[in-house]
């Protein structure tokens, strides 16, 4: 809390906090910390994952492959999850309704998985009303209400939901594919037993890229 207040040069705030600590300030400091130290934290997490994998699972040149993989993940993550101002200008602005976005995702799923397993999963998700765009939905807990971006969250009882803040641009269809892949990997798990970030981003980023290729091929006009 000290670093948080000193960084903002808010010494009075620091003084007040010690007199009367409050949860809201703690939460704000937590988000500030995540934001400010995202890159060192990400590096640390990747290194940590590598150590674990080396220690228990890898032999010989597999280590090299993993090193490459982790570099790729961190580069992609920097470019997508944590966009810089400069990158934000390059947002995809092609207008698209929510239903058009869903339809494109369905078409994409049909193409990449002719067994239609993924498409049926997508229908299940939709029919059970687990693509949520209402921030006041009771399934979103307090922690999630702060988030403004797309994410998959656990609503208990192995019920995974996607929070979908539609932007009504082509980007929605890509975000939906990204979160849907998280859903596929998590759907049979409980929240405490999922792949650790940032490795959990790998499959989502892969299919997100495939979706971009799919859209380019369609040449939407």
Footprint (CB under 5 A) of Zn ion, residues 14-43:
none
Number of other residues whose CB lies within 10 A of the CB of residue 100: 15
Binding footprint of Zn ion, residue count (CB under 5 A): 2
Residue showing the smallest CB distance to Zn ion in the complex: 204
With contacts defined by CB under 5 A, name the span among 39-47, 54-62, 193-201, 209-217 that binds Zn ion: 193-201
With contacts defined by CB under 5 A, name the span among 61-69, 87-95, 183-191, 196-204 that binds Zn ion: 196-204
Asked if residue 43 lies in contact with residue 74, where contact means CB atoms within 8 angstroms, the answer is yes
Distance in Å, CB of 56 to Zn ion, minimum: 25
Distance in Å, CB of 150 to Zn ion, minimum: 8
204 scored as a contact of Zn ion (CB under 5 A): yes
**Of 54 and 151, which CB lies nearer to Zn ion in the complex structure?**
151
**Of 170 and 186, which CB lies nearer to Zn ion in the complex structure?**
186
Structure tokens at 125: 């998700």
70 scored as a contact of Zn ion (CB under 5 A): no
Strand partners, 162: 131, 152
Distance in Å, CB of 204 to Zn ion, minimum: 5
Burial class (CB in 10 A: 0-12, 13-18, 19+), 164: buried
Asked if residue 50 lies in contact with residue 71, where contact means CB atoms within 8 angstroms, the answer is no
Distance in Å, CB of 6 to Zn ion, minimum: 32
Distance in Å, CB of 41 to Zn ion, minimum: 16
Strands (E), 49-141: 131-132
Distance in Å, CB of 18 to Zn ion, minimum: 37
**Of 100 and 195, which CB lies nearer to Zn ion in the complex structure?**
195
How far, in Å, CA of 115 to CA of 197, rounded? 29
How far, in Å, CA of 162 to CA of 205, rounded? 16
DSSP string, 196-221: PTTTTHHHHHHHHHHHHHHHHHHT--
Residues in the site for Zn ion, rule: CB under 5 A?
Answer: 201, 204
């Amino acid at each position: 809390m000290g670093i948080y207040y000193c960084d903002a040069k808010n010494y009075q705030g620091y003084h007040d906090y010690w007199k009367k600590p409050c949860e809201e300030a703690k939460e704000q400091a937590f988000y500030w910390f995540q934001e400010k130290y995202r890159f060192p934290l990400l590096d640390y997490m990747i290194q940590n994952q590598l150590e674990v994998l080396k220690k228990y699972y890898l032999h010989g040149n597999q280590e090299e492959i993993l090193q490459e993989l982790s570099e790729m993940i961190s580069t992609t993550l920097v470019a997508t999850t944590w966009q810089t101002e400069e990158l934000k200008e390059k947002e995809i602005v092609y207008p698209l309704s929510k239903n058009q976005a869903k339809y494109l995702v369905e078409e994409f799923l049909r193409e990449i998985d002719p067994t239609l397993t993924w498409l049926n999963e997508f229908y299940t998700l939709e029919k059970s009303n687990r693509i949520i765009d209402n921030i006041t939905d009771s399934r979103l807990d307090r922690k999630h209400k702060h988030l403004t971006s797309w994410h998959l969250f656990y609503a208990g009882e192995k019920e995974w939901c996607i929070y979908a803040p539609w932007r009504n641009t082509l980007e929605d269809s890509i975000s939906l594919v990204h979160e849907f892949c998280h859903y596929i990997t998590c759907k049979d798990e409980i929240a405490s037993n999922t792949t650790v970030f940032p490795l959990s981003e790998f499959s989502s980023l892969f299919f997100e890229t495939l979706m971009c290729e799919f859209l380019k091929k369609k040449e939407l006009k």
